[in-house]
Amino acid sequence: MTRETDSESCGTGGPLRRLAGLCLAAALLAAPIGEVSLAADKPAKQVFGAMSSAAALKPASHGFYSRGCLAGAIAMPYDGPTWQVMRISRNRRWGHPDLIALIEKLSIKAHKDGWNGLLIGDISQPRGGPMLTGHASHQIGLDADLWFTPMPNRRLSFKEREETSAVSMLKKGSNYVDDRRWNPTYERLLRDAASFREVERILVHPGIKKKLCDTVTGDRSWLRKVRPYYGHHYHFHLRIGCPPGSSDCRRQDPTPAGDGCDASLKWWFDVALAPKKPSKKDKKAPAKKPKIITVRDLPSTCQAVVGADNKDLQAAVFNAPSLSGFAAPDLDLPKKFDPLAALSSRPIEASAKVKTASTIGDLVQDSGFADLTGPVPIPTPRPTR
């Protein structure tokens, strides 16, 4: 199936014709077996990156955190008394209902413990799957990025949520926490996150793990869940285990016993984060092209997720208990979801290079979205509840 026939197979006119992703989903519903299998050979990041709504199926996480998809997702409301969703244009506020409910509970618990509220970064796409930009994991609706910057005392505008940068916890140019910034509220926030049974891992920069190792007193058992990893000094990454009802969700190995304040942490500073001299061999080695992951490379259940009907957008937004009586602000949201927004949206790291028009152009080419111009609907927030 060529790109042209894709668009031809998707109705008779209007901007939707040009949306290969949507057309693909629609085509899959009606397509004969041969066409479905051809759709399955498309790059998964293109197919899932174009999905604007969740699959109207029973909630289930299929596959592994870095290779899978998500059925029956729900969306985090843009605002709640103890949270605000950031980078709305990316449409990555979707997750398994267990994760979305847990984020609300964490936001309430952390608020009671002195954290002003959560700024919520990427969770998953409406049907999970690989993304056009940004993450290896976050594919099955069980991962969420939460900012180390506390929620301000006011509601941010749509534009501010797109453009505000998070603040690094590290001292500039070092791998260690900036003590002028660190205070006990960060420890309590991470401890609260680890306190939920469902939470299996919390990824933070090794410098933050070291700070916890050096300062946490009393019960230290929760440190076992806090794992050092690259990046993760502007935000931490929360991961829950496979939820009940997700029979082909693949469990990650449990974290090693102990608090992790040992040689394994030292390795990060001595080896992983140590400055590297490029070897001659590295210079000569031609850059390897990463393998393109197609829909077929994901668990077979993901083909049904791609082909499923759209979940009703309003009903798919989590009816969070804490929203009762909460007046959500009016956000000046874009009328439509643009799959290209994820390519041009600003990283949360202040130091990361903001993409220029030309690099966006390259990304668009790489993504296979070069021929997509029309928008698709974005869920709107529910009115005040």
Q: Which residues contact 39 (CB under 8 A, 6 or more apart)?
A: 1, 24, 27, 28, 31, 47, 295, 303, 306
How many residues form the binding site for Zn ion (CB under 5 A)?
Answer: 2
Look at residue 228 and give its three-state secondary structure: strand
Name the minimum Å distance from CB 202 to Zn ion: 10
CA distance 177 to 180: 9
Structure tokens, 354: 């903001």
> Which is closer to Zn ion, CB of 87 or CB of 237?
237
The residue number whose beta carbon is nearest to Zn ion equals 237
Q: Nearer Cβ to Zn ion, position 28 or 169? A: 169
Encoding tokens for residue 171? 């001292």
Q: Is 237 in the site for Zn ion (CB under 5 A)?
A: yes
CB of 138 to Zn ion, least distance (A): 6
Find residue 60's DSSP bridge partners. Answer: 71
Query: Whole-angstrom Cα distance, residue 129 to residue 91?
Result: 13
Applying CB under 5 A, which part among 4-12, 185-193, 234-242, 355-363 lies near Zn ion?
234-242
Nearest distance, CB of residue 11 and Zn ion, angstroms: 36
Residue with Cβ nearer Zn ion (145 or 192): 145
Least distance in angstroms from the C-beta of 145 to Zn ion: 4
20 vs 140 by CB, closer to Zn ion: 140
Report the nearest approach of Zn ion to the CB of residue 332 (Å): 27
CB of 90 to Zn ion, least distance (A): 13
Contact 47, 368 (CB under 8 A): no
**Tokens, residue 367:** 């993504």
Structure token digits, residue 81 = 């008394």
Residue nearer to Zn ion on the CB measure, 145 or 200: 145
x/- string (CB under 5 A) for Zn ion, residues 48-87?
A: ----------------------------------------
Q: Which residues in 136-165 contact Zn ion (CB under 5 A)?
A: 145
> Measured from the CB of residue 275, what is the shortest distance to Zn ion in angstroms?
25
- 275: amino acid identity, one letter: P
Q: Note whether 49 and 132 are within 8 A (CB).
A: yes
Rounded CA separation 375/219 (Å):
51
Q: What angle do CA 324, 329, 330 make, to 5 degrees?
A: 125
Q: Quick one: 104 or 145, whose CB is closer to Zn ion?
A: 145
Distance (Å, whole) CA 110 – CA 333 = 28
E strand map for 139-234 = 143-147, 199-204, 226-228
Of 73 and 323, which CB lies nearer to Zn ion in the complex structure?
Answer: 73
Least Å from the CB of residue 63 to Zn ion: 17
Instruction: Tell me the window of 80-88, 124-132, 235-243, 344-352 that interacts with Zn ion (CB under 5 A).
Output: 235-243
Choose between 211 and 232: whose C-beta lies nearer to Zn ion: 232
- Cα–Cα distance list, 51 to 26, 45, 150, 368 (Å): 11, 10, 30, 15
Query: How big, in percent rounded to 5, are the helix, strand and coil portions of the chain?
Result: 35, 15, 50
d(C-alpha 191, C-alpha 257), whole Å: 17
- Closest approach of Zn ion to the CB of residue 380, in Å: 26
In this complex, which beta carbon is closest to Zn ion, that of residue 6 or of residue 145? Answer: 145
In this structure, are residues 59 and 67 in contact, taking their beta carbons and an 8 Å threshold? no
Tell me the pairing of strands 118-120 and 83-85.
parallel
Question: Which among 6-14, 37-45, 231-239, 376-384 is the span making contact with Zn ion, rule CB under 5 A?
Answer: 231-239
We find the least distance from the C-beta atom of residue 141 to Zn ion, in angstroms, to be: 13
Q: Which is nearer to Zn ion, 96 or 237 (CB)?
A: 237
Residue ranges in contact with Zn ion by CB under 5 A:
145, 237
